Each structure stands twice: as C-alpha cells, then as structure tokens.
A and B are shown apart, each in its own frame.
Chain A
Amino acid sequence: MPYRHRRATATAALSTTVLHPVPWLLGALGCALALPAQAQSQVSVEELARRLEAIEQRLGTASPAAGDGTAAVDTADLDQRLRVIERKLELQAEAEAARVASAPVVSLSAAKGLSIKSAPPGDVEVKFRGLIQADGRFFIGDERVPQNDTFLFRRVEPTIEGTWGSLFAFRLGAQLAGDSATVNDAYVDLRFSPRATVRVGRYKVPLGLERLQSSSAGAMVEGGFASELAPVRDLGVQLQGEFAEGALSYAIGAFNGAPDGRDGATTNPDNEFELIGRVFVEPWKNSGGALSGLGFGVGASQGDKRGSGNNFLPRYRTPGQAQFFNYRSTVLADGQHSRWSPQAYYYRNRLGLLGEYISARQEVLLPTGNARAALDHRAWQLTAGWVLTGEDASYRGVVRPNQAFTPGGAGWGAFELVARYGRLSIDEDAFPRFADPNAVASQADSWGLGLNWYLTSNFKLVANYTHTDFEGGAAAAADREDEKAFFTRAQLSF
C-alpha cells in the first residue's frame, strides 16, 4: 500500500473513533495527513512527527520506538508510532464494548418504574415497584351506627421483585400503611418451566378471583362480598403453571390456613394445614374472537381449623369496611373448614364483567352445652364496567389511556364507569347459639356505583358510592341501619 494512502486510511479511522480523549488533536493530525499532495508538501515530516509526539504525550502512549525527538525522523518510525496509537484505540474500543456488554442496564420509565438488569443474557433482574393509595372516606346518614369519616392511607407498598437466573424469581413487598410496617409478599419461585413453578413463602393464596386481582386494578375502592369469604395471603408452598400459552392455569398449595377474608398468621397456631387449589381456563384466549376475553374456573380449599379468636374464625365486613358479623367470643373453630368458588370474567373491548360465588363451611363448637354445627356461609358478587373513552377493559384495569391527561392539553385520560351488586348470607343455624342476632346481621346486600379516572397508566382517581342493607343485626330483631358510603381514592402505581 502506498505510504500516503496508508496514512490517509489510518487517520480516517482515528478521526472517527468516539472514545478518543483528545479527538480535536487527532482530527487536526488526520486533516494534516489527509491533505492533497499539494497541500501536504507544505507540511514537513518533522512537523508531523512533532504533532504525533504531542498526541502520544496526551495519550500517554509514547512508543519505545518514538525516540527522544532529537534523532532523525523517518516515515517508517512515524508509521510504527501511528500504528501503535491505532491499535491502542482498537483495544480501548474493544474494552469499552466489553465493558458496555457486561455492564448492568439500569432503566427508569413511567410505565415500568425502576429496574436493573444484568448484562446479556440478562437473566438477573431486579425491579422496584410501588403502590400508594390515599383514600377519603365519608359515611352518610350513620346516626345509629356511626362510622368515622376519615382520610387514610389504604396501601403504601414498596416492592422489590425480580429474577435470579432462569430458575429463581422472587418478590418482597412491604405494607407501610398501617400503624406498623408488615410484610405483604415474600416469596421465591423455582421456575422449572412455565408449566411447573414452585412458590415458597407468603403470598396471595389461589382461591378468590377478585382477591387474586392486583390491589391497584380493583374496579372499586374495596372488594365485594365474595372476597370476604376468600382468604388473602398465607404462608405455604404451591405448585403453579400454565398450559396452552396461558389458556389453562393452575395452582395447588399447602398453607398454614388463613381465616375468611384475612391474612394468615405468621405461624401455624393449630398445627393444621390447609390445601388450596384453583384451575382457571380461558379457552379462546389466543383466538382473537369475541370469546377471547372469557375466562372461568373454580377455586377450593380444605383443611382443619381448631381454636378461637381472629386467627380461626371470620369477621365479615361491608364494602365500607364496617364489621357486621362475628361469632360469639366463646365459639371455637373445631373441625373441617372448606371453601369452593366458581368464578368467571369476561372482557371485550370496553366492557368488563367479573362474577364469583363462594361458599365457606366451617365446623364450630360452643363448649358451653357442647353444641356443634357445620355452618355454611355464602356470598356472591357481580361487577360490571364500561370504559367511556373507548380503551379496552381488562382484569388489570385500563392499562394505558389512549390520551394521557396533560394539564392544558388535549388529553383527558380514560374514564370507566363501574357497578357492583353482591350478597353475603350467614347460615341460619349460626343464630342464636353461635352468633348474637341482636348484634350481627344474618345477611347483607350491597350495590355500588363508581367512576374511575385513569389520568395516566400510573395515576388513578376513584370515586365510589356503595349502599348496603342488612337483615338483622340490631336490637329486638330489627335490621341494622343501612350503610351509605362515599369513598374516594388517589392511587399512584408503577
């Protein structure tokens, strides 16, 4: 290769590198060496040598062959020194590429929050998530059973979740909204395959449809009656998985045993376990047709519970979170506790429907008089939603408004109207021996209307009105006063 040509090629490579600490210097050298023959003849070899030496000093790459500046400079020497610089830049580029390729990727976005992912293949990933729900709760006409109007944090849940290699995944979530911090979720998944994952720790048990829905995606501020009979979180181990690209999912697990509508205790107070399982099918999930959003399934649990108090026996609440049923304090859970719950949802375009029924049967004992019964409480609910602004409804709520709300802009986010009706019936045999008919109701019916405003995919405002009427629950066999609750919520989730 002719000397001049070789120089021009070399300097072109140099001047295009982005890693060079003194690009202007190399650029100048590149320009000088790449000049046309006529112009180049005006630059002496000695001048080029001095400029190259300056570059070497700036780069700290003085070559042993470079000499001390006093020896006669020849083109072969310049050639060698330039090659050394080129090669070092190549190595720098390779090292930088390797560094970038091996560096973890940190990303922060409004939709997905903060995540840190390891270098390719990226099988170690940690995500930081958060959910904040700030409520304003107001009760109307509550003269006889007064409830406190209040502002409160319903949920403050920072969460860390992620994957650790192809086999392990984890989730660790705290609940900071109460008077003391508690652990929400803390579990490890061993993901043998999509069809078989073993989950160990504390998490939502696989039974109630609405209970399994994310807290941030609920149609209304509080859950319906069916969720009052479904356990929430418990400690245990379960096998879960899905088939046919998610058209069929299952979970079966053994847990310490949680009372209806509540979390399980931190230990197993009665030394008995509860087996819980659920199968859910979406036969047309991947068809894209009108039935693609139809899913139905059944959840069930069975186990023994033996003991008294809140860790064993349920207390049922209204959608306004007021307790309207509990057992007499002398009653014990003493025997089999079983639940079963057929459930379904249907989401099609802007329409969303969710319905579930649940029956919870518990053997109870009243030691005084040795009275024993197996009481079967039942509840159901139907929730419907309609997205006014045209976005798709889903089990996860309106995931992304077509036009996010922008102050002063055209976007108003998404609006969704929701309605719910539900009933919770207490087994008639509970009264009067196991529950006091003058203090707790035997049945509650509730309807509610709500408006959800999804300003962005992360921020949601909710307003609900719920009306609940009761059978019994007041002195002299009278009905408890109706509950009329107006709840509002501001929610940030990411």
Chain B
Amino acid sequence: MKTLLSSFALAFALAAGTASAKDVELLNVSYDPTREFYAEVNTAFAAQWKQQTGETLKIRASHGGSGKQARSVIDGLEADVVTLALAADIDAIASNGKLLPANWQTRLPHQSSPYTSTIVFLVRKGNPKGVRDWGDLVKPGVAVITPNPKTSGGARWNYLAAWAWASQQYRDGGKVVDYLTRLFKNVPVLDTGARGSTTTFVERGIGDVLLAWENEALLTLNDPATRGKFEIVVPSLSIKAEPPVAWVDKNVAKHGTRKQAEAYLRFLYTPEGQRLAAKHGYRPAEPDKVPAAELARFPQVKQVTIDNAFGGWKKTQAEHFADGGFFDRIYQPK
C-alpha cells in the first residue's frame, strides 16, 4: 500500500507540474465606451510592470454592454478584473456568481471607482431641435438615442439622470413615470450598449440627441472625423456616474494572477492612471493628481448621486430594472 501511495503522489505531482507552466495574462472585462481608455492603460501598465518586476504581462480586454458583460462573467468568462459601468453589475457577479466577496467595493479607494463621469446630451451642430434640458427630450418630433437599460450600464445612468431631473421638476411619482414613458416613446432605436448608440447617432445619422457618457461625447468631439458636426449640451441636472473596478477573486486565484490584477487596478489611482482617465474624458477621482489644464474640459454640472437620490444600487436595481420594475412599465418593445 505504501508503494501504491508513493506512486500516486509522484503521479499527481507530475500532473500538477505539467499544468503549471503558463504565460502571465490578465483579462479585463469592461463596458463599451472604455475601449480606447483601457487600450492605453494596458500598454502603460504592462510597461511599468515589466520595469518593476521583469515580468511580461499580456492584458486582454473585452468590451460590451455592462450588464451583458457581467452576465458573461457569471456564466464563466474568466475575467481577472472587471471594470464595469455600475456597481450593480459587479454586485451581481458577487451575489450570483460568488466570484468575489460582497464587500468588494471597500477594497479600493473611492468606493472602487477611480474615475467618474456624468450624463450629457450630444446634439447635432447648431442644435437644430433646440434641446437645452431634459424637458426638451419629450417634445414631439425629437428623436432621442439611448441604449437599453436592461443590457447597458450607461443606459441605466441615462435613465436615472432623467428620473432625477423629473423628480425635482414634477415632484409627483405619476408625472415622473409619465415623463419617462414619453421620453422612451421618443427613442426610435434601442441599442444594447452605449457604443452602439453612439454609432446609431453619429455614424448612422439617426436621432436628434444622444444621451451619452460625458467621455463618449468628448471622444466624439475630439475625433477629427466628427469634430465639427456635433456639440455637447450640459443639462441643468445630471447624475454622478461612478464606474467601479474590482479583481475577481476566484478567477485570479485560479490563474495565479491576484498580485498583477490588484496592481493593475491600483495603477488607475496613480498620477499616470488618473491622467489617462482625464485624457479619455473621465473625471479623475483624485483630480489633484492631474494638471489643472487637463481638467478644464469638464464643465461644472449639478449632479445627484446614486446613494443620495436613489438609495444605492441594490435598491435602484430592484425597483427600476429588475423584471417587473419601473422600466418594464415604462417601455414596451414595439
């Protein structure tokens, strides 16, 4: 029996050894509009990591509607880190997938949101429909482009920003729902993600106003191909969008990449990471680390937060976006 056990110990050691030799690779599962930002972050961090540790790090990125991306991770996409549009999507990975602890948001500064953004309007040059504020979006003949809150994190921020404005404007629940209903009746195309909506508005020429992440709108204005064709309208009230980041504990443990994943996310809080965020239109969580000149492009805007205006993401998700929630009552697919 002793011989037998020794043989098997040796055999299993051989098997484990065979499985261990692998390249160091990180997979960042993110949402739509971060494509360009993380492309640059990945290059910068990999170079810094190589210099610090000598280790060659390959960082892959996956982008899509935030909700769909979260679903993919829950279903088995082995993300080392997730950088999604809203905390509810990472909460879903924690609660449904059991892939990271429930208190994940406490592990990094600023509730694990190294940058923020807000929701603005992108309109065609000259603003031909005269869209100035949320109330203009429900006027007849104004076609509004926004993605589907069921699949897109950005769309949920759009929806909540509109809700927050309507709540202050009407101070009556029925009127708020009526406003949102009329708003979504003015949406001719409901894309699954924010980048798709930008494509609908900018490239396909559909609609009069795009409800957009500020960084997405700034990107459009910075693009030489589209710079002269659009302008940004800042509404009287918007919402502070806090896209969070987290490493996925079970996956990094499986891949042996916890150290790299955590360093990657902490890099976002460094002066270099914060500068890159500002460069790509995100408002740095620690603006003092970024030269003032690079912050000038972000106008002052009155913002509500998800916690103050809606009682946090868990409550908001259940009330507005879960099956049978407000959004299902407001929007009936054609």
Interface positions of A (Cβ within 8 A of B):
60-65, 80, 83-84, 86-88, 90-91, 95, 190, 192-193, 195-198, 237, 239, 252, 254, 273, 275
Given the complex of chains A and B, what is the CA–CA distance between A437 and B129 in angstroms? 109
Binds A, one of B11-19, B160-168, B303-311: B11-19
In the A-B complex, the 6 residue pairs with the closest CB atoms: A196-B15, A239-B11, A60-B334, A192-B19, A193-B18, A84-B188
Known A64-B140, A193-B19, A239-B14; further 19 A-B contacts with Cβ < 8 A: A61-B334, A64-B141, A64-B142, A64-B187, A64-B188, A80-B205, A84-B206, A88-B189, A91-B192, A190-B15, A192-B16, A193-B15, A196-B14, A198-B12, A239-B12, A252-B7, A273-B4, A275-B3, A275-B7
> Would you call B154 an interface residue if the criterion is a C-beta within 8 Å of the partner chain's C-beta atoms?
no
* Known contacts A80-B206, A84-B189, A198-B12; A64 and B143 CB within 8 A of each other: yes
Shortest C-beta distance, B134 to chain A (Å), equals: 17
> Would you call B89 an interface residue if the criterion is a C-beta within 8 Å of the partner chain's C-beta atoms?
no
Q: Which A residues touch B118, using CB under 8 A?
A: none
Given the complex of chains A and B, what is the CA–CA distance between A193 and B20 in angstroms? 10
Scan B198-237; emit 1 where CB is below 8 A from any A CB, else 0: 0010001110000000000000000000000000000000
User: Across the interface, do A192 and B15 meet the contact criterion of CB distance under 8 Å?
Assistant: yes
User: Across the interface, do B205 and A83 meet the contact criterion of CB distance under 8 Å?
Assistant: yes
Pick the residue among B18, B141, B200 that contacts A65 (CB under 8 A). B141
> Would you call B196 an interface residue if the criterion is a C-beta within 8 Å of the partner chain's C-beta atoms?
yes
User: Across the interface, do B19 and A275 meet the contact criterion of CB distance under 8 Å?
Assistant: no
| A/B interface sample: 22 pairs, CB < 8 A | A63-B188, A64-B141, A64-B143, A64-B186, A65-B141, A65-B143, A65-B188, A80-B143, A80-B206, A83-B204, A84-B188, A86-B204, A87-B200, A95-B192, A192-B18, A192-B19, A193-B18, A196-B11, A196-B18, A239-B8, A239-B12, A273-B4
Shortest C-beta distance, B198 to chain A (Å), equals: 12
> Would you call B80 an interface residue if the criterion is a C-beta within 8 Å of the partner chain's C-beta atoms?
no
Given the complex of chains A and B, what is the CA–CA distance between A60 and B188 in angstroms? 11
User: Across the interface, do B188 and A195 meet the contact criterion of CB distance under 8 Å?
Assistant: no
> Would you call B1 an interface residue if the criterion is a C-beta within 8 Å of the partner chain's C-beta atoms?
yes
Question: A90: nearest residue on chain B (CB-CB)?
Answer: B204
Shortest C-beta distance, A394 to chain B (Å), equals: 29
Q: Which B residues touch A87, using CB under 8 A?
A: 189, 200, 204, 206
> Would you call B35 an interface residue if the criterion is a C-beta within 8 Å of the partner chain's C-beta atoms?
no
User: Across the interface, do A62 and B334 meet the contact criterion of CB distance under 8 Å?
Assistant: yes
Question: A64: nearest residue on chain B (CB-CB)?
Answer: B186
Question: A254: nearest residue on chain B (CB-CB)?
Answer: B4
User: Across the interface, do B191 and A91 meet the contact criterion of CB distance under 8 Å?
Assistant: yes
Q: Which B residues touch A91, using CB under 8 A?
A: 189, 191-192, 196
Given the complex of chains A and B, what is the CA–CA distance between A254 and B140 in angstroms? 78
> Would you call B185 an interface residue if the criterion is a C-beta within 8 Å of the partner chain's C-beta atoms?
yes
Question: Interface residue tally of chain B, by bracket?
Answer: 20 to 34
User: Across the interface, do A275 and B4 meet the contact criterion of CB distance under 8 Å?
Assistant: yes
Q: Which B residues touch A198, using CB under 8 A?
A: 12, 15
Question: A63: nearest residue on chain B (CB-CB)?
Answer: B188
Question: B3: nearest residue on chain A (CB-CB)?
Answer: A275
Shortest C-beta distance, B14 to chain A (Å), equals: 6
Given the complex of chains A and B, what is the CA–CA distance between A196 and B12 in angstroms? 8
Q: Which A residues touch B14, using CB under 8 A?
A: 196, 239
Shortest C-beta distance, A9 to chain B (Å), equals: 13
Q: Which B residues touch A190, using CB under 8 A?
A: 15
Given the complex of chains A and B, what is the CA–CA distance between A237 and B7 in angstroms? 12
Q: Which A residues touch B142, using CB under 8 A?
A: 64
Given the complex of chains A and B, what is the CA–CA distance between A236 and B197 in angstroms? 57
Shortest C-beta distance, A60 to chain B (Å), equals: 4
Given the complex of chains A and B, what is the CA–CA distance between A190 and B12 in angstroms? 11
Interface centre among B15, B143, B186, B204 (most CB of A within 10 A): B15
Given the complex of chains A and B, what is the CA–CA distance between A237 and B187 in angstroms? 61
Q: Which B residues touch A273, using CB under 8 A?
A: 1, 4
Interface residues of B in 8-33 (CB under 8 A from A): 8, 11-12, 14-16, 18-19
Given the complex of chains A and B, what is the CA–CA distance between A252 and B9 in angstroms? 12
Q: Which A residues touch B141, using CB under 8 A?
A: 64-65
* Known contacts A64-B140, A83-B204; A252 and B186 CB within 8 A of each other: no
Shortest C-beta distance, A276 to chain B (Å), equals: 11
User: Across the interface, do A64 and B185 meet the contact criterion of CB distance under 8 Å?
Assistant: yes
Shortest C-beta distance, B73 to chain A (Å), equals: 15
Interface centre among A64, A84, A198 (most CB of B within 10 A): A64
Q: Which B residues touch A84, using CB under 8 A?
A: 188-189, 206
Given the complex of chains A and B, what is the CA–CA distance between A64 and B189 in angstroms? 10
Q: Which A residues touch B187, using CB under 8 A?
A: 64
